[in-house]
């Protein structure tokens, strides 16, 4: 009986979380405007979605910022993780605390802080400031993805490569990076996923002239939900789901290999 109630409770939680998303996806194929009446299956709203210059511009901003932020934060986070791993115990603990703060801090605090920084430094908010903001909150996730792999590798491999005549750059590229590659890839995918669907920090660090998909959906929702927003939200959900499944798959494969 206890097992039945556990399963029933789990089903209720899953329905509460995912039933609205399922309804949204179904409604994105509704030929009519009304959300209360099914008027036939149609790709009408997807066609309007991809023919809208405003949405296509927001999609371009979203994808380019997510790609650039993931690449730059992966490079910075990997190098930072290597540096933190090489520190002594107390400095390493201090750096890990500083790394964890941005992850535990509410997004609205991070967004307002970055907005005030840009205003204080008189930097016009737009594409560049949004990119900096995304790099800022992506980098700690990369660090925490790479550090476990550094702790798993043989700590003397790098020194052995130097003793055999390798330069520090060659040893980094051919000894350390191959050992931590799974963590680097996982961190990059996670950074791309987080950047793709971020709203709060993007909202405070950009201007109305430069919008990504999340800020565009918010501004459109204030005017009234259009059927094209259902299609856009459905595509974003499917994309993020695929990316998260890829991240979890890599993590599970790494655990099995370990």
5-16 pLDDT, tens per residue?
778 888 888 888
Domain that holds residue 195: 42-257
Record the pTM. 0.80
Q: Which residues contact 116 (CB under 8 A, 6 or more apart)?
A: none
Residue 238 lies in a domain: yes
Q: Which two tokens stand for residue 87?
A: 């520190």
- pLDDT for position 85: 86
CA distance 213 to 57: 9
Q: What percent of the chain has pLDDT over 70?
A: 95
Q: Give the pLDDT confidence of 63-105 residue by residue, as tens digits.
A: 999 999 999 999 999 999 988 888 888 888 888 888 888 888 8
Q: Give the pLDDT confidence of 109-119 residue by residue, as tens digits.
A: 989 999 999 99
Residue 26 lies in a domain: no
Number of domains observed in the structure of the chain: 1
Residue 201 lies in a domain: yes
Q: How far is CA 132 from CA 112, 116, 137, 153, 224, in A?
A: 14, 14, 9, 32, 31
Residue 27 lies in a domain: no
- pLDDT for position 131: 94
CATH classification of the domain holding 123: 1.10.3720.10
């Amino acid at each position: 009986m206890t097992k039945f109630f556990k399963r029933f409770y789990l089903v209720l939680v899953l329905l509460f979380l995912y039933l609205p998303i399922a309804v949204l996806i179904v409604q994105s194929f509704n030929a009519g405007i009304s959300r209360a009446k099914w008027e036939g299956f149609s790709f009408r709203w997807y066609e309007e979605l991809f023919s809208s210059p405003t949405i296509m511009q927001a999609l371009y901003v979203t994808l380019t910022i997510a790609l650039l932020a993931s690449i730059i934060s992966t490079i910075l986070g990997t190098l930072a993780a290597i540096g933190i791993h090489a520190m002594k115990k107390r400095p390493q603990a201090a750096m890990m605390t500083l790394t964890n703060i941005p992850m535990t801090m509410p997004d609205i605090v991070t967004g307002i802080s970055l907005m005030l920084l840009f205003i204080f430094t008189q930097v016009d908010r737009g594409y560049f400031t949004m990119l900096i903001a995304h790099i800022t909150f992506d980098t700690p996730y990369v660090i925490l993805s790479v550090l476990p792999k550094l702790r798993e590798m043989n700590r003397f491999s790098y020194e052995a490569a130097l003793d055999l005549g390798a330069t520090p750059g060659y040893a980094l590229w051919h000894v350390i990076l191959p050992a931590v590659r799974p963590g680097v890839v996982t961190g990059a995918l996670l950074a791309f996923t987080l950047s793709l669907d971020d709203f709060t920090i993007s909202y405070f660090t950009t201007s109305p002239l430069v919008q990504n998909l999340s800020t565009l959906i918010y501004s459109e929702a204030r005017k009234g939900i259009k059927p094209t927003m259902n299609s856009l939200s459905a595509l974003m959900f499917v994309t993020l789901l695929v990316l998260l499944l890829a991240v979890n798959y890599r993590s599970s494969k790494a655990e099995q290999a370990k």
